A and B are shown apart, each in its own frame.
Chain A
């Protein structure tokens, strides 16, 4: 079940809300956990047992860690932590990289396995470091693991961020309204922008990369860059909005990444929860940037290799991770002083260029296709051809809308309208209503399309 599905919007969500708000406070988490389990089981019910066993395993690991740390038995606590982390990583690797290939039987990947495994790892680290207390209520902990808005594609909410909210949170009409608006904005990004841009990208990427001219190859790369942003950013908005409706507050997962002036800034604004996870649990424990230049470079490379591998076992993901590792080493260490002297607009353009090239590596099925397409982008096959002319003619409007939608002005405008009092309130209500109807129409007429990041 995906958020952009009519059944989710008109069936699952209203029923869940009704049940949640009808429950007394003491039973709200139980009800939300049950709804989340139904959501999880919808695609492949057998994995429900896997999720429940993982909840029990981590709940007990957390309790054991807490008891051992109280006894100041550091050595055994470390052993418990290492064994639990190793088990999680083995399980994740098994599903992501082994089950579908080596086994004679094709074992499908449980939905959200990369996301809930990283959430569970953050729980272990947070309890071990003393950043959070081990849970004493398995229902609350189950909800942290399986909470349906963040289950399929994140955001990867760290346990220390959600711990207090599981015990106590306020659910107000204001929050409900704010969450609903956020959900609707996310849905619009997905249905109206990502899906439309996806049509252009799908058409162009289906052609052999060697047949594209430079303008066609650029259109393919640009439409993917925007599509991925609106697809994943839209999903994140929907997830954060849904959480808000149920009284939870999650940090933003995207912060206008295409406005970034450096590659490092881009990654502080894109998939923020994954970046924060790697920073908190890998980069800083490795020493971050405090142990000299060579070690900083090594740490950056390790983090980016792991980020690439996290996305999948294809050669292109590995290449993409190495590409960003090298880019960040160049930007932060080798060319730091040169880049700082460049005008802001030029730095911005360079960043966008690096990011678009990165997405080509990311979406290509293999390195040969990736380098062929990159070659075409940089002029190995002529500038314009009738195919590119046709697609530019039909896609330039949505591309322009996409570029404009990357700017923060629209969110500010929406906020101003909602906060402007009675005068503009009816107008904003009509605008949001129209947006909702457009999305529904889009969902009914368009071919069903899942979220891109759900595959990871």
Chain B
């Protein structure tokens, strides 16, 4: 009985120590905490072609993505200025990384809808959507970009985190 008690006590202690170590390791590998969305915007938005996009308010986020801006810490959206444009930028700062899946699904739906819209007649737009769309989810930050410079936007976004 006494040996069993000692074993249980030692096992409990080891589990606690391992849990604390795990939390330290996780904290070390987690993405940066509080980066203002404005900073990410200044690093990514200038890469969009001038005049091709306009900045959207919360209701545009709802219209294009079905997302409620109030659910997130912050959102930035640049959407095409014309009906024939596809260049776009979306930055989302999540309340919690668990929301990442929802946002990613919404982005996928938006991308699929855009591809369907231009399928068959908008050759350039379709090519842009197929080849120049990037989606990144890093911790509590999400990026979606469709642009000639999408790789540069992606790199700037990742570097900032």
Contacts and interface: CB of A to CB of B under 8 A. Distances in A.
Contacts of B69: 206
A57 B101 contact: no
A54 B96 contact: no
Given A53-B18, A56-B15, A206-B62, A106 B34 contact: yes
A454 B96 CA distance: 11
Interface stretch (B1-9, B36-44, B125-133): B1-9
A108 B98 CA distance: 7
B106 A447 contact: yes
Given A49-B22, A63-B8, A103-B33, A109 B98 contact: yes
How many interface residues does chain A have, given as a range? 35 or more
Contacts of A365: 70
B68 A202 contact: yes
Nearest to A55: B15
Nearest to B95: A455
Contact of B8 (A2, A60, A106): A60
A454 B32 contact: no
Given A109-B98, A450-B101, A50 B109 contact: no
Contacts of B62: 202-203, 206
Contacts of A104: 32-33
A119 B101 CA distance: 25
Interface stretch (A64-72, A237-245, A246-254, A297-305): A64-72
Interface in B91-106: 95-99, 101-102, 105-106
Residue of B27, B99, B101 contacting most chain A CB atoms (<10 Å):
B101
B12 A106 contact: no
Contact of B31 (A68, A84, A105, A455): A105
Contacts of A70: 1
A392 interface: no
Contacts of A43: 98, 101
B135 interface: no
Interface of B is mostly: helix
Interface string A1-40: 0100000000000000000000000000000000000000
Contacts of B59: 203, 206
Contacts of A450: 98-99, 101-102
A414 B70 CA distance: 38
Nearest to A448: B105
Given A67-B1, A67-B4, A105 B27 contact: yes
Interface string A361-376: 0000100000000000
A71 B1 contact: yes
A87 interface: yes
Contacts of B118: none
A106 B22 contact: no
B139 A106 contact: yes
A342 B20 CA distance: 56
A206 B58 contact: yes
A217 interface: no
A381 to B, nearest CB: 19
Contacts of A411: none
A203 B58 CA distance: 10
A448 B109 contact: yes
B67 interface: yes
Contact of B12 (A64, A111, A203): A64
A449 interface: yes
Contacts of A454: 98
Nearest to B25: A46
A107 B102 contact: no
Contact of B32 (A54, A67, A91, A106): A106
Interface of B: 1, 4-5, 8-9, 11-12, 15-16, 18-19, 22-23, 26-34, 58-59, 62, 65-70, 95-99, 101-102, 105-106, 109, 139-140
22 contacts: A2-B101, A43-B98, A53-B19, A53-B22, A63-B4, A63-B8, A64-B9, A67-B1, A67-B4, A71-B1, A94-B23, A103-B30, A105-B27, A105-B28, A106-B32, A106-B139, A106-B140, A202-B62, A205-B68, A206-B58, A446-B66, A450-B99
**Interchain residue pairs A-B with the least CB separation, the first 10:** A448-B105, A447-B66, A108-B97, A64-B8, A57-B15, A105-B30, A202-B68, A106-B33, A60-B11, A450-B102
